[in-house]
Structure 1
Amino acid sequence: MRPAHVALAVLVAAVWGVNFTVIEIGLDHFPPLLFSALRFLAAALPAVFLVGRPKVAWRWIVAVGLVLGVAKFGLLFVGMDAGMPAGLSSLVLQVQAVFTALIAFAALGERPTRLALTGMVIALSGIAVAAVDEGTTGPLGAFALVVLAAACWGASNVLTRKASPPDALNFMVWVSTVPVLPLLTLSLMWEGPQRDIDALRTLDWQGAGTIAYVAWVTTVFGFGAWGWLLRRHPASTVAPFSLLVPVFGMSSAALFLGEPVTGLRWCAAVLLVGGVALTSLRSFTDARWRPLRHDLLPPRDGERVRSGGSWGDGEVRG
């Protein structure tokens, strides 16, 4: 990768890591489900009028929108609102790589290698250490919600692999249109209309800034830049930069929120990030797939280019 492309990949990881601190600040202004709904509303508008028509079938947009937008982000925001620290949330969510591999095996028959299985065990041991650490300082129920959010993220990764979106930004913007109404409905049911009205009535610049960051910077810029990198480099080159997300997440939470980083948490970070790295190293041994450099070779007739990273594997079907 060119130095400028490396810098862009690190910038995206930093944006995604700091996002957890911004979410924590935003939860001081909004109920969690309302905050998540506003995030997707701002990500969808006005971008949906600028990215063109959807490039995949609507069933995939709706499926990913519900699993990623409603389930994953709903659980994450509720878990953080219930007491899960921002830095620890950025770390625990990385176990989505393990869930992605397990769900891909169950749904798609993609067999993980022994190295990937070893990585899964190491990553899960990191989750166990993080759970012990959180059990001494915070509510385990909130911790469990974030783990469930990671499982939903893994499921959405497999759905996106099946959807094979040719344009990551176009796909993410259209996906962002789906969760808005379900999340608003859930917010009205569980958080109450009065609480939502009070949050909107007292909206200030800090609250608006958190919505702008999580919608436009994290979603539109982050996924747009990540997709741009994946179109120019193999997924195996780009994807490892996502392991920097918890580094920036834990660092920003410690710097701006004063969250302590205990010895157990550092141990969990080493195990989880190391395990995820092993899980992501050529995790699947399905002979039906072979690598293709998207920037060097055009797809042959009848082949569909798949997006890489957490949404695909940078390969095409033969």
Structure 2
Amino acid sequence: MSVKDMLLALCVVVAWGVNFVVIKLGLQGMPPFLLAGLRFALVAFPAIFFVRRPAIPLRWLVVYAMTISFGQFAFLFLAIKLGMPAGLASLVLQAQAFFTLLLGALLLEEMLRWNHIAGMLIATLGLFTLATAGMEGQSAAGITLTTMMLTLAAALSWGMGNITNKIILRNRNVPVMSLVVWSALVPVLPFFACSWLFDGGSIVVSSLAHISLQTVLALIYLAFFATIIGYGIWGNLLSRYETWRVAPLSLLVPVVGILSAVLVLDERLSVQQLLGAVVIIAGLLVNVFGARLSQRLTMRTPS
């Protein structure tokens, strides 16, 4: 990978890591479902007038959008609104990698290797460490059983979206931006409907009438920088380089998320929460690099 492309990839990683802090700031002035609906409305409009609709059946576009967009961000925004720390949310959400592997094995008959299983077990131990830290009286830090389960539900939705994406792309060449832009159109009305139903019409109208500059800037960042520009660059890199060169860089997203949350939101981790975070990162590393490292060690071992 060239130096220029490596810097572009790192810019995307930073944008996606800071994304969780921006969500936290945006939710300070707007209900979660309304914020998510506006975010995807800005992704879809006016881009749909310039990006061709993906050549896939409508049902698959809807399934993809309702899992990776509606499901993921409905659960994630609600978890952060209820107090889930932005930094730890960026880390727990990476459980999507393991959900994707499990769903791939169940639905697509893909093979699970030893490093995948080991990585899942290690990461599960880390999640348990985080969850028990909250339940033992540190709920002021935002980690409760509810926020943890909501964040994991977001990760599961992301994993389901990944599988749908794999099915869509299996026999079709669909441009990444085409899928991102047109799928963003689908969850807008469901998000607005959920906000009207759960928050009430008066809250929705008041939030829109008195929208703050902080919320507007958050929406611009979420829609254009984190979504359109971020996915555009990432998709371009994946199209020009092997997956193994690009995908592992996403492991830096929770690192950026935690650091930015410390710097901007003054979030602090307890010793047990920090331990849980380290264990989860270890599980992700084993999942991604375990097989490759094992092969190298085997090649170096004299027969």
Q: Same fold (TM over 0.5)?
A: yes
Read off the aligned partner of 1:44 and give its amino acid letter.
Answer: A
Q: How many residues align?
A: 283
Indicate the residue corresponding to 1:298 in structure 2. Answer: none
**Larger RCO (alpha carbons 8 Å, 6+ apart):** 2
Indicate the residue corresponding to 1:310 in structure 2. Answer: none
1:152 corresponds, among 153, 157, 163, to 157
- 1:282 to 1:156, Cα distance in 2 relative to 1, 3 A: farther
Read off the aligned partner of 2:155 and give its amino acid letter.
Answer: A
Rounded Cα–Cα distance in structure 2 between residues aligned with 1:180 and 1:203: 18
Rounded Cα–Cα distance in structure 2 between residues aligned with 1:55 and 1:274: 39
Indicate the residue corresponding to 2:138 in structure 1. Answer: 137
Whether the aligned pair in 2 keeps the contact of 1:236 and 1:281 (CA below 8 Å) is no
Indicate the residue corresponding to 1:128 in structure 2. Answer: 128
What is the CA-CA distance between 1:265 and the residue it aligns to? 2.6
Indicate the residue corresponding to 2:196 in structure 1. Answer: 188
Indicate the residue corresponding to 2:299 in structure 1. Answer: none
Residue 66 (1) aligns with residue 71 (2): no
Whether the aligned pair in 1 keeps the contact of 2:54 and 2:175 (CA below 8 Å) is no
What is the CA-CA distance between 1:270 and the residue it aligns to? 2.1
Rounded Cα–Cα distance in structure 2 between residues aligned with 1:40 and 1:282: 36
- 1:281 to 1:110, Cα distance in 2 relative to 1, 3 A: farther
Read off the aligned partner of 1:140 and give its amino acid letter.
Answer: L
Specify every segment of 5 or more residues in structure 2 that has no aligned partner in the other structure, as ranges. Answer: 292-303
Whether the aligned pair in 2 keeps the contact of 1:55 and 1:170 (CA below 8 Å) is no
1:162 corresponds, among 163, 167, 170, to 167
Indicate the residue corresponding to 1:255 in structure 2. Answer: 263
Residue 79 (1) aligns with residue 79 (2): yes
Rounded Cα–Cα distance in structure 2 between residues aligned with 1:132 and 1:149: 20
Residue 110 (1) aligns with residue 110 (2): yes
SS of 1:109's equivalent in the other structure is coil
Rounded Cα–Cα distance in structure 1 between residues aligned with 2:156 and 2:194: 20
- 1:205 to 1:254, Cα distance in 2 relative to 1, 3 A: same
Read off the aligned partner of 1:200 and give its amino acid letter.
Answer: L
What is the CA-CA distance between 1:187 and the residue it aligns to? 0.9
What is the CA-CA distance between 1:275 and the residue it aligns to? 1.3
Read off the aligned partner of 2:58 and give its amino acid letter.
Answer: W
Read off the aligned partner of 1:51 and give its amino acid letter.
Answer: V
Q: 1:165-176 residue pairs with structure 2 within 5 A?
A: 166-176=174-184
Read off the aligned partner of 1:157 and give its amino acid letter.
Answer: N
Rounded Cα–Cα distance in structure 2 between residues aligned with 1:267 and 1:30: 33
> Deviation digits for residues 162-190 of structure 1, max 9, x if unmatched?
11153111111111011001111111111
TM-score w.r.t. structure 2 length? 0.90
What is the CA-CA distance between 1:278 and the residue it aligns to? 2.5
> Deviation digits for residues 243-281 of structure 1, max 9, x if unmatched?
000011011111010100222232222221221232234
Rounded Cα–Cα distance in structure 1 between residues aligned with 2:93 and 2:25: 19
Whether the aligned pair in 2 keeps the contact of 1:94 and 1:273 (CA below 8 Å) is no
Specify every segment of 5 or more residues in structure 1 that has no aligned partner in the other structure, as ranges. Answer: 284-318
Read off the aligned partner of 1:211 and give its amino acid letter.
Answer: L
Residue 241 (1) aligns with residue 249 (2): yes
What is the CA-CA distance between 1:56 and the residue it aligns to? 2.6
Structure holding more helix per residue: 2
Sequence identity, in percent?
Answer: 36
Rounded Cα–Cα distance in structure 2 between residues aligned with 1:106 and 1:36: 30
Rounded Cα–Cα distance in structure 2 between residues aligned with 1:134 and 1:91: 16
Rounded Cα–Cα distance in structure 2 between residues aligned with 1:118 and 1:224: 33
Read off the aligned partner of 2:262 and give its amino acid letter.
Answer: A
What is the CA-CA distance between 1:9 and the residue it aligns to? 1.0
Read off the aligned partner of 1:213 and give its amino acid letter.
Answer: Y
Read off the aligned partner of 2:7 and give its amino acid letter.
Answer: A
SS of 1:245's equivalent in the other structure is helix
Rounded Cα–Cα distance in structure 1 between residues aligned with 2:236 and 2:134: 37
> Deviation digits for residues 179-212 of structure 1, max 9, x if unmatched?
0011111111111111111110111221110011
Residue 280 (1) aligns with residue 284 (2): no
Rounded Cα–Cα distance in structure 1 between residues aligned with 2:264 and 2:115: 37
2:279 corresponds, among 262, 266, 271, to 271
Read off the aligned partner of 2:41 and give its amino acid letter.
Answer: L
